[in-house]
Structure 1
Amino acid sequence: MLFKQMKYFMTVIDCNSFTEAAEQCFISQSAISQQIKSLEKELGVELLVRENRQFTLTPAGEYFYRHGKVLLDEIEDFKEETIRRGKDRELSLTIGYPKNFSSLELHQTIVEFTNIYPEVNVSIMSGTHEELFEYLLNQQVDMKISEQRRTFHDDYYNFELKYSDCFIEISSKHPLAHKKEVSVEGLRNMSCILVVSKGKEDSEREFYEKSLGISHRFLYAESLDQARLMVLSNRGFLPIDQIGQLPETISGIKRIPLKRNGQSLQRNYFACWHKERANYYIEEFAQMFRNLLNK
């Protein structure tokens, strides 16, 4: 039994026409008719009862169509997965994430993912939100995790992960450290410490100042560890997003929920990748990450 003969038969039934099926399969009507007759001869049973230009399915034909359809779908999935796994570029996955991002679930997802797909080499890159977008444009990362700061582009998949609660980290010596929550308005006289790469300070400052209404004075650190050292020395506060379970703060630092107008300050986080570079592994990682975040 030829695979093509099965496909021809399914197409005839789906189209309810030999003529339309032949056009879809790019062969002549007589050729597709002959192929189905050859299929019936091999099986030794009639699948169709032909009456002039019409036909009906025999009980054997109904069974063959119903189960054959499932089989062909499985074969197609098998074929696509084989192709995906055979492409060199799909055997590596680079994920970009924000510099001020602290998520145990990201690392848990990487461990779980690599246990299931050991053939995939997973690597990570950190950067500011603007840098992550540049990394994605330049194909330095396959997927970026970041909050929504711009209008979504039609060329990209934007996979919603979670609304993230905002916190600040502040020195335990600061008077605000004993509070259960702190408002954006109450931080206006303090310096805001941002984790940002050199040359990206202005764009990051503008976002925090205009979009979130945080502070009017800013200090900059190139890493999360450096920023926390600045917090320990009581130079300002560090904004932190809780996109998952946050690790314990280090000794000497207090983490406090951030509010604005009495409401929790939240930011919406997405996984984003280019449609032309989409593959099974990117989609699977994004789904696994979201599942962990929303447990």
Structure 2
Amino acid sequence: MLLNQMKYFVAVVEHNSFTEAAAASFISQSAISQQIQSLEEELGVELLHRKHRSFQMTPAGEHFYRQSKLLLADITKLKRETIQIGESKESQLKIGYLRVYGGLELHEAVAVFSERYPEISLSIINGTHEELYHELRQKSVDIVLSDQRRAFSEDYMNVELVRSEMYAELSIRNPLSRQTELTLTELKDIPCILIATKEQQAIEEDYYKHTLGFRGNFLFAESLDEGRLLVAGNRGFLPIESVGTLPQPVGTIRRIPLVKDQAAITRKYCAFWQKKRSNYYIEEFAELLKELLIKE
């Protein structure tokens, strides 16, 4: 069985015409008919039941069509990945993650991946959601771990990793730290501390204020550690999500669940990468990270 025969069969089925399939495949109608006939003779079963100038797929033909589509897609992917690896002097996987993420799963995923695939060089950056989205569009990173803020795009692979609950980290000197849960209304008079670069502060503030409903004033920190120092100094509260294992803060800080209408506020975290640049290693890393997050 030739690979081209599978392609021709799929083309005939999808065009519902030998003539149109032949034109799309850049061969004559008689040639494509002969190829399909030869394929049926080799298999010893009828794939297309011809009736005058029309045809119908037989049950065997339907099965062959579905499996051929999968095999052809796998072959196309294999060719693309092989070319990408062959053209690269060194195979790399560039990973981006949210600056506010403080879990251990990413570290474990990197360690396990590096042990499995020592030939792949890993590089890692962090940033805000918008910074990571920009890097992904510019192809500066291959895959990012980020929160979902947009509708899923058909140009990207959007793999949900985990749904996380939101918390507020507060200094124990703040009276609200004695509560077992908090609403955004109760926090409206306390500055909200966000992790963002100077260039991204306005974007982050707009998202937390108008999309998530946070009120009051905002303070900014460049890193998670810097943000927690502000919390320890009772300068404000830090919104944070329980993505995987989230280590407990120091004793001078309390972490309290955020609720709305008596239900926990949750966010969706995903792995994103461009469909056109998808390959085995990106998919393997995303699956590994998802397994580790689910396990926790």
SS in structure 2 of the partner of residue 200 of structure 1: helix
1-structure distance, mates of 2:2, 2:210: 65
Report what 1:84 is aligned to: 81
CA shift, 1:176, in A, is 1.9
When residues 6 and 151 of structure 1 are mapped into structure 2, their CA distance, relative to the original with a 3 A threshold, is: closer
CA shift, 1:267, in A, is 0.8
SS in structure 1 of the partner of residue 229 of structure 2: helix
CA shift, 1:81, in A, is 4.9
When residues 153 and 7 of structure 1 are mapped into structure 2, their CA distance, relative to the original with a 3 A threshold, is: closer
SS in structure 2 of the partner of residue 199 of structure 1: helix
Percentage identity across paired residues of the two chains: 44
When residues 5 and 282 of structure 1 are mapped into structure 2, their CA distance, relative to the original with a 3 A threshold, is: closer
2-structure distance, mates of 1:200, 1:160: 25
Map residues 14-25 of structure 1 onto 2, 5 A cutoff: none
1-structure distance, mates of 2:4, 2:184: 66
Report what 1:122 is aligned to: 122
1-structure distance, mates of 2:178, 2:26: 75
SS in structure 2 of the partner of residue 164 of structure 1: strand
Letter in structure 2 aligned against 1:232: A
Report what 1:217 is aligned to: 217
**Conserved 8 A contact 2:171-2:234:** yes
**Conserved 8 A contact 1:196-1:204:** yes
CA shift, 1:3, in A, is 9.2
Map residues 137-176 of structure 1 onto 2, 5 A cutoff: 137-176=137-176
Deviations 1:121-150 (A, max 9, x none): 122111111111111111111112212212
Task: Return the index of the structure with the highest Cα Rg.
Answer: 1
What 5-or-longer segments of structure 2 have no aligned partner?
9-18, 36-43, 46-66
Matched, 1:99 2:99: yes
1-structure distance, mates of 2:102, 2:2: 55
Letter in structure 2 aligned against 1:275: K
Report what 1:51 is aligned to: none
**Conserved 8 A contact 1:102-1:241:** no
**Conserved 8 A contact 1:164-1:242:** yes
Letter in structure 1 aligned against 2:240: I
Letter in structure 2 aligned against 1:192: C
1-structure distance, mates of 2:130, 2:5: 53
SS in structure 2 of the partner of residue 272 of structure 1: strand
**Conserved 8 A contact 1:185-1:260:** no
**Conserved 8 A contact 2:96-2:145:** yes
SS in structure 2 of the partner of residue 111 of structure 1: helix
Deviations 1:261-288 (A, max 9, x none): 2110111111111111111111111111
**Conserved 8 A contact 1:162-1:268:** yes
